[in-house]
Amino acid sequence: MADVKIRVFKLNTDKPKTTITIPGSVLKVASALFPKLAAEQLEQKGIDVDEIVKLSLNPDVSGTLIEIEEHDKGEKVVISLE
């Protein structure tokens, strides 16, 4: 099972200001522990946490899954499986 990496960048930079790693071995449990508000915010951006868990089980899936640029916040969020 792949690890999920969530990186937050300031726009136009290559170095993340925040990196969150969720180990694949605890991903199913960790997704159940997501606060409801966080899950809702992800869903508003079109991100299905359950689908990410399913994808992490597939050994053929890796790399960047989602890139979100929030221009009004000057941020980019990248979610990947590694």
Q: Give the predicted TM-score (pTM) of the model.
A: 0.81
The tens-digit pLDDT sequence of the chain (82 residues) is 899 898 999 999 999 999 988 888 888 787 777 667 677 777 888 888 888 888 998 999 999 999 999 999 999 999 999 9
The answer to whether residues 66 and 48 touch, using CB atoms and an 8 Å cutoff, is: no
Residue located via tokens 């997501």: 34
Identify which of 38, 44, 46, 45 has the alpha carbon closest to the alpha carbon of residue 20: 38
- Helix, strand, or coil (residue 35): coil
